[in-house]
Structure 1
Amino acid sequence: MLFLAMPTGALPSVGSSKGTERERKGIMRKTLKSPPSWKKIALAVAATSLVLACVWGCAPQTQTAPLAESGDAEATVESPYPDFTERSAGLLPDTYTNRDMLNAGNRGCNTCHADLFDAMNSGNQETGYNHILTHTGFGKSGTYEDCMPCHQGHTQRTGPYLGDLLHGLHYSSNAFLDANGNCWSCHAVNSDGETDDYQFMLWDEMADSAALGGYVWAGDTKLVRDWAESRGFKGGYITEVATDSEAQANITLSQDVTPQEDVFIVNNWGDEVIDFAAACDPSNTVEVTGVKNPRSFSKEELQAMEQVDFVNHISCATNGPGGVLTSNVPMTGVPMSAIVEQCGGLEDGIDTVLVSAYDGWDCAAPFTAESYIDDAYIVTKMYGEDLTDDWGPIMVVSRGLCGAMNVKHAKTIEFSQTGQPLPPSMLGKTPRSFEIHRMNGAWFQNDGVTVKVGETTTLTGAAYSFYKVSGGIEQLSFSFDMGQTWTDFKIADTIKDYDAGQWINWSIDWTPQKAGTYIVKVDGIDGEGNHMENPVSLVVVVEE
């Protein structure tokens, strides 16, 4: 049974919510993103082989051997990367299918690059380029999902599209070629469509799927799992991952503050583009216009006004599924409503606002004025201390919007009148060509957590939503059996005084009863009834 400290009568049990993962993601329920259209394999290879979105500089670099002394044999250096022809099951059970056919242990970005954040940093040193991400937390390794959203977005202020760059970089790398690297080191084919319809995709997008290996409906119907098991695949999945439908686990939900050292940091511009010291000058003021009495406020003037302490989750607009670019941060500031009141109120007809910064950033587009008046603040402190140069001296925060709309080094707040209905992008909803995950979750452990049978392990993580876009989180659900059954927690019944502007973090004390590789999943539902685009997974290996 699953236990949770919560009000009497509200205790759910494992498996209390049945239904296939497909039903949870699309057919019967609303999702954040429409299912992808399936392409013929010939077209898919041509169209999507460019979608290798990792990080700049993540390809293996050629290893240089020291020059041989005169008369010595020619020096050689063995590649530090796994040889694709030396078959491995990786974290999956060591079966013939996983080892010899899927070769699962030699595929995916993290096979060669244990931490793509490290690869990004080494790439920066190699090339001299600067990445805007300067700090991550929780000891998490960077994965493909951390890179993909920013580097596939065709917008003005995202990373370069890396498909062509990384293919050229890998196939000109001796280390990659010497390790027998090839297309299948990075890619996979998903046949989870109509007959003869396939999707050529990245291995990392497929690795935690029930469809991995070819029984594409195994995640949806018991009949397929029974058929697969009758063919000799334990548990009904071709990868023979283990399931625990009666997990002995204790799950607690809360809204804890992020340890300060784990707060992620993004610096939008480097010193090559702007005078960063000038952008962080403590004497900088923020100017408010479009009000009846326009004026500027210094940090000292703001701190002399009545202060409000609150906690706000800051989550990067391009945080990928399971990405850790999210933090729950205590802040101190002045409500924007009080600032507007100090300025005599808005001018007549005002309906729009644009916030800009000394570093050249702005909130991406004009928003409805209410977006930066309701539950919005001018902030001068985090964790009880003045903002550091990474944030301040003054920051404009609109709770319930993504990090890009929370403007650091704030310079101007321009209220204005458009007289026209604002398109969806100005309301915080983005076009489908650049999908912001409006509800997301992350595990604070890396894949490959190892535990012994009968021993208790603690798994932690957090989920959030941009509530001004699609509402707060109304339900979180957990599965220990590949999504066959779910344990649902209604947030209103579980967290007293739930604050939609904060994340929800969880702690799971789980005592597995049998050995195997488990893929633990978390899903959520927001105020509009949307599920996470895909449940967020964590691989746990249980040993005898």
Structure 2
Amino acid sequence: MPHDLSAESRYDRTRLRQWARGRARSAGVDRRDLLKLFAAGVGAAGLPALSGGPAAAATTGATGAPTVPTTPAPVAGLPGVVKPLPPELFTLRGTNAETRFAALRGTGQLTPVDRFFVRNHTATPRVDADSWRLKVWGSGLRGAAVEFSYDRLRALPAVERTLFIECAGNGRSFYTTQQGQQVTGTAWTLGAVGVAHWRGARLSDVLRHAGVRADAVDVLPRGLDDEVVTNGVNLGRVRRPLPVSKALDDVILAYEMNGRPLPPDHGHPVRVVVPDWIGISSIKWVGDIEVSSTPLYTPWNTDLYRLFGPDQPPQGSAPLTRQTLKSAFELELGATVPVHRTRLLTGRSWSGAAPVRRVEVSTDGGRHWQRARLHDAPRRGNWVRWSLPWTPRATGTTALLARATDATGRTQPETTAHNTQGYLFDAVVRHPVTVV
């Protein structure tokens, strides 16, 4: 069933008004510093490459984040990433590694950990589960701060969900290559997404054990990776507030991924998993959670992860929450295929709003469309695999297109409204191939 978006829409509009009027409280960075970034054009154009110092020991700061030792991640295909990143599986992009979508062909519905994309703002920390502590604190609690060890968290009732996590900028490069528009940020194609089977504790259980108050409004998880510094401003560790209604709904504090303990690059020992929302909400290596009775803002819901540009509201959009609708072929961009030989085109489609109900494919640049066969039961928070046989009849270049329709009735458009940071690209992607 389609998910009710009304509460999130009201939250988005409220936070936009609060930020514009200066009524939200900063969580760890001075509002004047943020305004300096805006004045430098960062808010409208996107932050430059974010940087952190060498991975060092995480220390307790003014916010009360627990002390957890970290060490530099070894070089394994990309400095700051632990797991191997072979070129047949990944495209390296700055501090990140994008999954080659063709490498998912034949892997099943779950994305294997060895080919799950990596999105790092700095470097992967190495956190010891035995010494890890999760501190829950803030004005939105009835009493003092509460700490959870790894064992205490695992002792809570477990929940298991199969869900995708996707970077808000997935598909960003197509603003330029298809729509001729300039954007900033990592030039992802469509591989900044993956589906995993997550196991963990409900965030709602943790908050209730900590004594969440009825007047709490925001819940702010914070990561244990290095602090982010840009333009001389220390933005602190990655963090982004969730409305308390979302936090009490379906958010997971995950400690397992595909039946195994979380790997370092994907949040070991514990990460947040926020179903359907943009990936920045699913904080990795979570170390503390602030529960606030007043609205919170951070750089990741003010100058980042909002929409700016001529096609957007003058002051920018509300902070982004829910992901959009996409489809991708399990085939290399620019692939060469033989004429008069039937091949099975395969791919995947997903939506943050509702299950995907229909996928159509064009093999002639969009002139004609055929309905693809779905191989999975449509489910919220998951993708569906699909296929269509194709026998090319003439040599030359062409474009393969796939478009999905979800249970809300929404179909991927031909173009996406431009925003300067290149978020939420959802248009049909033209996948070039050459028939020989």
Question: C-alpha displacement at 1:339, in angstroms?
Answer: 2.0
Q: In proportion to residue count, which structure has more helix?
A: 1
Q: In proportion to residue count, which structure has more strand?
A: 2
Is the contact made by 1:482 and 1:521 (CA closer than 8 Å) also made in structure 2? yes
- Paired with 1:261 and 1:301, the residues of 2 have a C-alpha distance of 29
Corresponding position: 1:256 with 2:109: yes
Question: CA 1:366–1:536 in 2, change beyond 3 Å: closer, same or farther?
Answer: same
Tell me the TM-score normalized by structure 2.
0.58
Aligned pairs for 1:287-298 within 5 A: 287-289=135-137, 290-292=140-142, 294-298=145-149
Is the contact made by 2:355 and 2:382 (CA closer than 8 Å) also made in structure 1? no
Match of residue 364 from structure 2: 481
Question: C-alpha displacement at 1:406, in angstroms?
Answer: 0.6
The alignment partner of 1:375 has SS state of: coil
Amino acid paired to 2:163: N
- Paired with 1:490 and 1:460, the residues of 2 have a C-alpha distance of 9
Aligned pairs for 1:18-33 within 5 A: none
- Paired with 1:315 and 1:368, the residues of 2 have a C-alpha distance of 20
Amino acid paired to 1:479: S
Question: CA 1:447–1:420 in 2, change beyond 3 Å: closer, same or farther?
Answer: closer
Aligned CA RMSD, in angstroms, stands at 4.2
The alignment partner of 1:536 has SS state of: coil
Question: CA 1:281–1:309 in 2, change beyond 3 Å: closer, same or farther?
Answer: closer
Question: C-alpha displacement at 1:508, in angstroms?
Answer: 3.2
Match of residue 375 from structure 1: 250
Corresponding position: 1:348 with 2:189: no
- Paired with 2:355 and 2:152, the residues of 1 have a C-alpha distance of 33
Amino acid paired to 2:132: N
Match of residue 161 from structure 2: 310
- Paired with 1:317 and 1:132, the residues of 2 have a C-alpha distance of 20
2:195 corresponds to which of 325, 328, 332: 328
Question: C-alpha displacement at 1:141, in angstroms?
Answer: 6.9
Question: CA 1:403–1:510 in 2, change beyond 3 Å: closer, same or farther?
Answer: same
The alignment partner of 1:509 has SS state of: strand
Amino acid paired to 1:502: N
Question: C-alpha displacement at 1:442, in angstroms?
Answer: 2.7
Amino acid paired to 1:539: P
Structure showing greater Rg: 1
Question: CA 1:509–1:302 in 2, change beyond 3 Å: closer, same or farther?
Answer: farther
Aligned pairs for 1:458-477 within 5 A: 458-467=344-353, 471-477=354-360
Question: C-alpha displacement at 1:541, in angstroms?
Answer: 2.6
- Paired with 2:80 and 2:428, the residues of 1 have a C-alpha distance of 28
Q: C-alpha offsets along residues 220-247 of structure 1, whole Å, 9 cap, x if unaligned?
A: xxxxxxxxxxxxxxxxxxxxxxxxxxxx
Is the contact made by 1:136 and 1:325 (CA closer than 8 Å) also made in structure 2? no
Match of residue 178 from structure 1: none
Question: CA 1:364–1:504 in 2, change beyond 3 Å: closer, same or farther?
Answer: farther
Q: C-alpha offsets along residues 268-317 of structure 1, whole Å, 9 cap, x if unaligned?
A: 3238xxxx33x455421112233335412111112222222221211122
Match of residue 181 from structure 1: none
Is the contact made by 1:140 and 1:445 (CA closer than 8 Å) also made in structure 2? no
1:389 corresponds to which of 264, 279, 284: 264
Question: CA 1:280–1:519 in 2, change beyond 3 Å: closer, same or farther?
Answer: farther
Match of residue 285 from structure 1: 133
Question: C-alpha displacement at 1:463, in angstroms?
Answer: 2.7
1:521 corresponds to which of 397, 401, 407: 401
Question: C-alpha displacement at 1:255, in angstroms?
Answer: 7.9
Question: C-alpha displacement at 1:138, in angstroms?
Answer: 9.1
- Paired with 1:416 and 1:539, the residues of 2 have a C-alpha distance of 49
Is the contact made by 2:373 and 2:388 (CA closer than 8 Å) also made in structure 1? no
Is the contact made by 1:481 and 1:520 (CA closer than 8 Å) also made in structure 2? yes
Q: C-alpha offsets along residues 32-64 of structure 1, whole Å, 9 cap, x if unaligned?
A: xxxxxxxxxxxxxxxxxxx9xxx99xxxxxxxx
- Paired with 1:490 and 1:446, the residues of 2 have a C-alpha distance of 21
Amino acid paired to 1:402: I
Question: C-alpha displacement at 1:472, in angstroms?
Answer: 4.9
Q: C-alpha offsets along residues 392-444 of structure 1, whole Å, 9 cap, x if unaligned?
A: 1111111111221111110112221226999x958x97223499873333333
Aligned pairs for 1:357-436 within 5 A: 357-359=223-225, 360=227, 364-390=239-265, 391-418=267-294, 430-433=306-309
- Paired with 2:435 and 2:151, the residues of 1 have a C-alpha distance of 56
Question: CA 1:485–1:138 in 2, change beyond 3 Å: closer, same or farther?
Answer: farther
Is the contact made by 1:349 and 1:417 (CA closer than 8 Å) also made in structure 2? yes
The alignment partner of 1:499 has SS state of: coil
- Paired with 1:446 and 1:341, the residues of 2 have a C-alpha distance of 47
1:536 corresponds to which of 419, 426, 429: 429
Aligned pairs for 1:40-439 within 5 A: 139=88, 142=91, 256-270=109-123, 276-277=125-126, 279=127, 282-289=130-137, 290-292=140-142, 294-320=145-171, 321=174, 322-344=189-211, 346-359=212-225, 360=227, 364-390=239-265, 391-418=267-294, 430-433=306-309, 438-439=324-325
Amino acid paired to 1:511: T
Tell me the TM-score normalized by structure 1.
0.47
Is the contact made by 1:449 and 1:540 (CA closer than 8 Å) also made in structure 2? yes
Which deviates more, 530-539 or 329-338? 530-539
The alignment partner of 2:430 has SS state of: strand
Q: C-alpha offsets along residues 91-113 of structure 1, whole Å, 9 cap, x if unaligned?
A: xxxxxxxxxxxxxxxxxxxxxxx
Corresponding position: 1:447 with 2:333: yes
Question: CA 1:444–1:140 in 2, change beyond 3 Å: closer, same or farther?
Answer: farther
Question: CA 1:357–1:429 in 2, change beyond 3 Å: closer, same or farther?
Answer: closer
The alignment partner of 1:353 has SS state of: strand
- Paired with 2:289 and 2:213, the residues of 1 have a C-alpha distance of 14
Stretches of structure 1 lacking an aligned partner (at least 5 in a row)? 1-50, 57-124, 151-156, 159-251
- Paired with 1:535 and 1:264, the residues of 2 have a C-alpha distance of 22
Amino acid paired to 1:286: L
- Paired with 1:537 and 1:134, the residues of 2 have a C-alpha distance of 31
Question: CA 1:140–1:282 in 2, change beyond 3 Å: closer, same or farther?
Answer: same
Q: C-alpha offsets along residues 200-238 of structure 1, whole Å, 9 cap, x if unaligned?
A: xxxxxxxxxxxxxxxxxxxxxxxxxxxxxxxxxxxxxxx
Is the contact made by 1:355 and 1:362 (CA closer than 8 Å) also made in structure 2? no
Match of residue 386 from structure 2: 506
